[in-house]
Every structure is written in C-alpha cells, then in structure tokens.
Amino acid sequence: MTYSNGISNGSVNDAANVERLALSSNLPDAVPGLLQTVASHGKDLLAQDPEARAKLLEAARSLTFALETPREAIIRHCWSESTSYAALETAVDINLFSALGTDDKPKTVTELAHATSVDPILLGRLMKHLAAMGAITETGYNEYCPTGFSKVLTVERYSDAFPLMTRRFTKGIMALPAFLKKNKYQNPTSPTDTAFQMGYETDMGFFGHVQKEPITAKQFNNHMSVYAQGRVRWVDPGFYPVQEQLVDGVTIGKDDVLLVDVGGSFGHDLSDFRRKWPGAPGRLVLQDLPEVVVSVQDLHPSIEVTGHDFFTEQPVKGARAYYMHSVLHDWPDELCRKILANTVAAMRPGYSKVLVNENVIPDTGAYWETTSLDLIMMEIGSGERTERQWHSLLESAGLKIVKIWTAQKGVESLIECELA
C-alpha cells in the first residue's frame, strides 16, 4: 500500500510548496488506518495477548513517523538522538541512574549533584534532556524519578552498551559516509579496509581490538547478552523441532557428538539447549578461540569445551549438527566460505547438518533492529543477509538449505542445511 503526502513530486521545486511539504505530516493518508491499528492492538494488549505489545509498539512507531513533519524528522535525527546518546553515556559515567535509584521516590537535582559530585547546573541541563527523551520522569521543578529504563541502567550488564558503542563503534559508523564515498559506493567486503579502521584511525580490525582489550571484550559480551535477552530461541517449543529434525530417525550413541557450537563464545546457547533438552542423546561440544574459552565458567558439566579457530580444520568429524550463531554475519562471503569449507569437510553425508542461527532480512518490511545491525556490520566489512543471499552463500559452499525456520518478526531464524 502506498500513501501520499498531498504534494506532487513535480511541485517540490516550488519554494512555497517545499515549505508546505516540510511542515506537513509525512504520510497523512496513512494516519486514519494507523489509528485504527493502534486501537486494535491496544485492545489485544488489555486482553493479555502475548504478541500485542510488540505489534502495538510497531504500529505506534509507524503512526509517529506518519504524523511527524519532515522538519521535525530532521531535527530529531540531527539533534535529539545524538544528544540523547551523549547525555545517556554521561549519565552512565557519573552513575546518575544509581543515584536516582530504583525506589520510585523523586529526587532533586541538588541531591543528585551531591551524590554524583557533578556541577548542579550541568546536571540539571543533562536531566532536562533525559526527561524530554523519556529516559527519566520529571515530577517537578528540578525533581525527577526513575523509569524502568533508568532502573535497568543501574546494572553494568545493561549500561555497558553506551561506553562500548563510543569506544569501538560510533566513530566507525560516523565515518561510513566518507568511507563509502572514498570507495565509490561499492558494497564493503573487506575486513581489513573498513569504516571502523577509518573512524578509529587504526590498522587493526574490530575483532582484533576485542581480543586485545579486556574492557572492550567485557562490554561487548555484556551487550550481546542483553541483545539476546527475551528473544525466542531456536530450542524453544514451536520454533525448531529438535526431536524430529535432530534425534529421530538416526542412532546417536553416548560417545557420538550431537551438537558442535562453532564460535560459541561462553556457551550460552549450548547451556540453553541442555537445559531445555536434558534428555537429548550424544555429546555437546563448545568451540571458540583459546583466549575466549579460557574464561568459560558455570557450564553444564556435560558440555565439552575446546579451543578452536574456525578458519582452521574442524577437528570434530561426523557430528550430527554443526551450529553457528551470529558467526557468519561477522564476515564477508569470501571468508564465510572458508569457515563453511572446514565444516563441510567434517560432515558425514546423509547424516550431518549445519544449523545457521542468523537474521534473514525479508524482501519487504524489514525490522529496524535488523537493519540497524546490518549497517553496524557494514562498518566492519560484513552484514546481515537476505534469504536470496543466504541461498547463494551456502550453496556456493557445497550446502543446500532444507528449510529456514522463523518464529516471529525481528528474531533470528534457524537455517537448516545439509550437504548438497
């Protein structure tokens, strides 16, 4: 469905019409239908529909974009979002949200300035903007109380996102326009010539910095754990039929490997699998670089931990399934084929599978989290992929896609593959 803003394309060159366009809603024709959609999802939310909140939020976002004028959109993108980020990171750095507390009791700027050792005039300015952007609630003159958002940011696991983005992402993202222009607007495919390296003026790639900087590694792992939180997982009921697709119809002895988690970091996915499928037969093997797995702790005792570089030969031969979660999106196609070639060489024909747990960007209606992540990955020379791109990549590596399993919009799919 298409909508009109009431001004024809040919009249945009007329100054008066341009001004009227800039001060008119982006998509006024869409507003009535979106109002009905918001009302409908609102009723579903009150009726305790588990999917209603996400649908209502998406409809409300669409309504905001339709009502917003071009002038307002420009100011939002250029002013409010960038300054909100700066205020949030500053608030994290001075422990403002911890000082504000989690008890819903309002506190004055004077109290908070004393608790954080920050100039009260400066703090008052920051808090005005944080309240205007919904991060905290203004309850009176120079008086504020926390929101759910600010309460969560009292925990380092959540607040680490802000210093991480500044430390190792934001400069690269802001360098993207200049980088793309320098490269004549070709799709980035090199992990050694990236916007990240331009923005941070470094020869080392992003993952090199993660490996060499303990603070970056900690913040990155915390942020990734938050990203995964609350999302439907492939081992959850109704997503991927583990019993039917992995266990039934084959014999898996106690010494056979059921699942290899390739590049599995600290083993969260295997732990989740063992917790939800405690009776699944066979061994579970976690693989990642030696410097990563040395820090693994609190895993189920049945999970074996092995140091392994997935750019080298896969040591586990003939496993039932080789699982890769958010591995291939880190690398351009050429390097993905090297990773996959090592896996394909270890597979047993007619038995082994490759399970790729990644975003699959739909042809239309892509979710904003996925498209945001795609541009973040563009910064380091990689990206998210569409269904067509997944077919092309996996088939070029000697695999065929059995099925792409998807639970809901905006959640990573599970791409089930076998040898071609």
Q: Which residues are catalytic?
A: 329, 358, 384
- Give the C-alpha separation, 396 to 392, whole Å: 6
Q: Quick count: other Cβ atoms within 10 Å of Cβ 104?
A: 11
Q: Which two tokens stand for residue 406?
A: 């998807």
- Nearest by Cα to 321 from 245, 387, 381, 385: 245
Helix axes 170-182, 368-379, angle to 10 degrees: 70
Residues 6+ away with beta carbon under 8 Å from 385:
328, 329, 358, 359, 360, 361, 393
Long-range contact pairs involving 148-155 (C-beta distance under 8 Å, separation at least 24)? 150/97, 150/100, 151/97, 151/102, 153/88, 153/91, 153/92, 153/97, 154/97, 154/98, 154/101, 154/102
Collapsed DSSP state (helix, strand, coil) of residue 145? strand
Q: What is the 3-state secondary structure (H, E, C) of 178-196?
A: HHHHHCCCCCCCCCCCCHH
